[in-house]
Chain A
Amino acid sequence: MDTPANTIHYFFAGYAVIFGSILIYIINLIGRFMPSSLAQS
């Protein structure tokens, strides 16, 4: 019986992009929120 193709490196790359992008965007949002909060106070 054939085994699946060895594509685990692409799997890790895909999820690194997904988690990395979401994390960067959330950090970016927090980074924009902080100065505005300080300016308001």
Chain B
Amino acid sequence: MGQKPKALTILDWITGILFITAILGVFFYAPLEAVMGWVQKVFYFHVAAGWTGMLGFLVSAVAGVLYLVKKDPRWDRIGFAGVEIGMVFMLICIITGSIWARPIWNTWWTWDPRLTTATIMELIYAAYLLLRQGVEEPDRRARFGAVYAIIGFISVPLTFLSIRIFRTIHPVVIGSNDPGAAGAFDMTPRMMQVFMFSLVAFSFIFADILWHRIRLGALADHVEQKKIQLQTWGE
């Protein structure tokens, strides 16, 4: 495990600057929505967090395929990191969605198709983390993780498309809304700029955290191997 790469330090700074700019954009540049007021501004990071979560699950599925093909433990580390980060951001997305729903839908929660599929997706990946812990042998654990991440990924397009294929009250950001959607709004150019910028900023946050998490995984594996070596010498 070497020193922190210079490219990672640069990525840290770029990510920090983009994140602060996105926050300033949401707080001061994006206009106040005429009906919903301030709570509409939660939407920018709510969608960006959902996007980041799905990106994490996509990375884990791709890493799963590559692990099964190449049998390189690096892909297992990447897949594991993708699921962990994806879960954190998807949880942010679900909770902020619930906070937005309270004043707009007059309820914290409803079993709408989008909310239901997002919750099932989160639980599928929570099970991934729990079941992984139960497999001790590293190769078996990695193979299990790879196959699970590939199969579990089916829940991601289902969640994404749920508001387009089922009757729902959840608004659609890009595309036409269901007639029963509550809380939909027309985005002004400034809103669209902040929204797109937030997606870019969160993509950088994802890449930055993913890199750090992969390095942590590599370090943990390295320490584990050294411990095993020390135990072998001691016997």
Within 8 A of B (CB), among A1-40: 2, 4-8, 10-11, 13-15, 17-18, 21-22, 25-26, 29, 32-33, 36-37, 39-40
Query: Quick check: B103 and A7 within 8 Å, CB to CB?
Result: yes
> Do the beta carbons of B103 and A17 come within 8 Å of each other?
no
User: Is the Cβ of B219 less than 8 Å from the Cβ of A37?
Assistant: yes
Output the nearest chain B residue to A17 by Cβ-Cβ distance: B95
A16, closest chain B residue (CB): B99
Number of interface residues of B (CB under 8 A): 35
- Known contacts A18-B92, A21-B92, A22-B92: A11-B216 contact under CB 8 Å: no
User: Does the CB pair B216–A32 fall under 8 Å?
Assistant: yes
A6 contacts across to B, CB distance below 8 A: 37
Residues of A close to B223: CB separation below 8 A? 36, 39-40
> In the docked arrangement, what's the CA distance between A7 and B105, Å?
13
Q: A18–B36 contact, CB under 8 A?
A: no
Q: Check A4–B226 contact: CB distance below 8 A.
A: no
From B39-47, B130-138, B160-168, the one touching the partner chain is B39-47
In this complex, how many residues of chain A approach chain B with their Cβ under 8 Å: the count is: 24
Within 8 A of A (CB), among B15-46: 32-42, 45-46
Given A17-B99, A32-B216, A40-B1, A7 contacting B92 (CB threshold 8 A): no
B100 contacts A by Cβ under 8 Å: yes
Q: Give A5's nearest chain B residue, CB to CB.
A: B37
Docked Cα-Cα span, A29 to B12, in Å, equals 15
Contact A11 B96 (CB under 8 A): no
B196 within 8 A of A: no
Contact B100 A4 (CB under 8 A): no
A-B contact pairs, 14 of them (CB 8 A): A4-B34, A7-B39, A7-B40, A8-B37, A10-B42, A13-B99, A14-B96, A17-B96, A18-B45, A21-B91, A22-B205, A32-B216, A32-B220, A36-B223
Binding site for A on B (CB under 8 A): 1, 32-42, 45-46, 49, 88, 91-92, 95-96, 99-100, 102-103, 205, 209, 212-213, 216, 219-220, 222-223, 226-227
